[in-house]
Structure 1
Amino acid sequence: MADATKKQRIFMTGASGYVGTSITEQAIADGYEVYGLSRSESNDEKLRKLGAVPVRGDLSSLDVLRREAAAADVVIHLVHDFNPRDMRDYKEVIKAQAAATDAFADALQGTNKVLLTTGGALMAKSDPNGGETDETAPTPDDEIIPRTLVEKHDLSVAPKGIRVASIRLAPFVYGRGGSGVRLFMQMGARNGFVLTVNEGAATTTSVHVDDAARLYLLAAKHARAGEVYNATAPGFVTHREIVDAIAGLLDVPVKSLPLAVATEKMGAFLGRFLSADNKSSSAKARKEFGWEIKEGKAGIIEDIKNGSYVPVAQAIKSGAPDGKTWGS
């Protein structure tokens, strides 16, 4: 007879990262055991402080992935091993991600256990009429990084008796003074201006990191096999609103470049990110999971101007060491 008091175990890649830290905290508070893949002693220590169990390895440690997935009740795969400032051959990223998913599938097949993978809302082509899009929207014609191929492979393991689903995070996951907003603040301070593209006219979506984390845990309970769910807060802002808020906090001007010039100077990825319209709706997740926006009710602009990014700006302007980078 199964032990009714035994805690459910989550195995997570990226457990010590930006989104993963919040998931780990919430999961442990909800009574889960969390085992997190860790590449270093510093990440080991961070996971232990969170109350999680570090598991040494990386995405190439396929035997470790199989072993830990087999012992887990839920697998959450957050790591997308790609640095947009590196732009190495994305075919290698696709190959590595597929190998990791296949390792999870080897361990989980026939169990109907949950495998949650991670994508991005920018994988959806914007509506030509300016309306909201859902998870069925086609891929953009100008997709710089074919992340859709990774998601398709992830979802392809569903017929093996695995309850796999993909969570598509908003372009701006914010809060706790971290992630992309922090990166743009660092860049703005270093350059003496905050960059935008085409006057910041593009509309984008956002989600507070703690709200996103809660969605993952709801999906662990309720997600249907082979489905995709947007992790985006209702309501949209323009890139201009975001950069104006950052510039105001740093006391620097905003500089706008045409897309072609921005792409030439900073690469296709950043140019695409800053110019892409995205109005991805999370209606599906809210309907199926009962997901609600809690920590992010005030929105990204308020958090930049008066919330968690204020001390970050103060530290940056004072010259304090700030080692945070993209996605941290």
Structure 2
Amino acid sequence: MLRIFMTGATGHVGRAVAEALRDAGHSLTALVRTPQGANEITALGGTPILGTLGDPGTFAATAAGHDALIHTAFEYDASGAESRSTDQIATRALLDVASRSSTVAQVIYTSSAYLLGDLGEAPVDEDIDMAMTSAAGGWRLDLEKEVLARSAGAGFSGAVVRPGLVYGGRGGTMPQWFGDAGRDRLVQYYGAGTNRWTLIYRRDLAALYWRLAESGMGGTFHGVDGTPMPVRAVAEAASRAAGWEGRTRSIPFEELPIAEREHARRALGRDVAVTSSRTSTLGWKPTYPSFQEGAAQAYREWSEA
């Protein structure tokens, strides 16, 4: 049994990770911001501690008594962007804890496959030459490097997970597709839909974290299903799963309000084709090897939530 400390354990991805670790028989302690979050962790069978990512004094001492530290939390600033300073503070605090602790053997940092930018025609795996990408990740990619560099020869392993677009449950992109567009019984997507998305089913991603924690390995791992798909094909699969016979509608980016247009292009308009050559070494493979197979489950979870 591993003793695992987590951030973000009540989030869309983090909760699935926490459940997977619990089901595998591991002990969980989770940082939460609110009493409601504490109740959620208690209901999962874990131990909550109240605190914030930006104040390591609220969690560092507790984290030091664990075998693995898993950072899945994201916080956002007033503009809706991910908070750079908060993530830097929390990640560096966890690395400091691991450096000083006699028990911490692994730190797992959550990044994103989408930070690699537009990648060209051929799919890329973890061995990608970062100099060849149009990397847009900036500070988060810098934190990836810091996790890997500080763990080298330091007595603990540093691992980076880069998830694709996560589907399943009520979080992510699919609820908007199934909910907002459902009134017209079709799925709407932005742009021509020829750019590719790289996806992963939520519980498949959670199983990857569980396998990675049990392995104790370091390095970079792409949390993806391995089958990048054109956005139009993803939308059609979602439409069929919802019983809408594959009906879709393309919305030109130019029709979006100016304030939303550039963000939508960055978030949804990139051509991101990512695979993995390393996750199989963990004994992991996705239940759904593409969204074609996972779409029905995505709709079922959305409709039952």
TM-score (norm 1): 0.79
Matches within 5 A, 1:54-133: 54-82=48-76, 86-88=79-81, 93-109=83-99, 111=102, 113-128=105-120, 130-133=121-124
Structure 1 distance, partners of 2:91, 2:139, is 17
Distance 1:293 1:247 in 2: 22
Superposition deviation, residue 240 in structure 1:
0.9
Which of the numbers 288, 299, 304 marks the counterpart of 1:309? 299
Per-residue deviation, residues 234-286 of structure 1 (Å, max 9, x unmatched): 22222112223445538596442444555835243322222111221112111
The answer as to whether partners of 1:124 and 1:137 remain within 8 angstroms in 2 is no
Cα 1:142–1:264, aligned 2, differ >3 Å: closer, same or farther?
farther
Note the C-alpha offset of 1:179.
2.5
What RMSD, in angstroms, separates the aligned Cα atoms of the two structures?
3.0
The alignment partner of 2:278 has SS state of helix
Aligned partner of 1:198 among 169, 191, 198: 191
Distance 1:184 1:105, change over 3 A: same
Q: How far is the alpha carbon of 1:62 from its aligned partner?
A: 0.6
Are 1:300 and 2:294 an aligned pair?
Answer: no
Identity value in percent: 21
Check the 8 A contact 2:188/2:235 in 1, yes or no: yes
Pick aligned residue for 2:20 from 23, 26, 50: 26
CA shift in 2, pair 1:141/1:34, >3 Å: same
The whole-number CA distance in structure 2 between the counterparts of 1:293 and 1:73 is: 26
Q: Secondary structure at the match of 2:70?
A: strand
In the comparison of the two structures, how many residue pairs are matched? 298
Give 2:31's aligned amino acid.
Answer: L
1:54-107 C-alpha deviation (Å, 9 max, x unpaired): 111120231123112201111000012137x9344x6xx222211112211222
> Contact (CA 8 Å) 1:65, 1:100: kept in 2 or not?
no
TM-score by length of 2: 0.84
Question: Is it true that 1:14 corresponds to 2:8 in the alignment?
Answer: yes
SS of the residue 1:179 aligns to: coil
1:133–1:59 Cα change, 3 Å: same
Match of 1:35 in 2: 29
Aligned partners of 1:261, 1:142: CA distance in 2, in Å? 27
Q: Would the aligned equivalents of 2:30 and 2:49 in 1 still touch at CA under 8 Å? A: yes
Q: Give the CA deviation at 1:229.
A: 0.7
1:44-59 to 2 correspondences below 5 Å: 44-59=38-53
Structure 1 residues without counterparts, runs of 5 or longer: 1-6, 316-321, 323-328
Rounded Cα–Cα distance in structure 2 between residues aligned with 1:32 and 1:240 = 40
Question: Are residues 134 and 155 of structure 1, via their aligned partners in 2, closer, same or farther at CA, if it must alter by over 3 Å?
Answer: same
Amino acid of the residue matched to residue 138 of structure 1? M
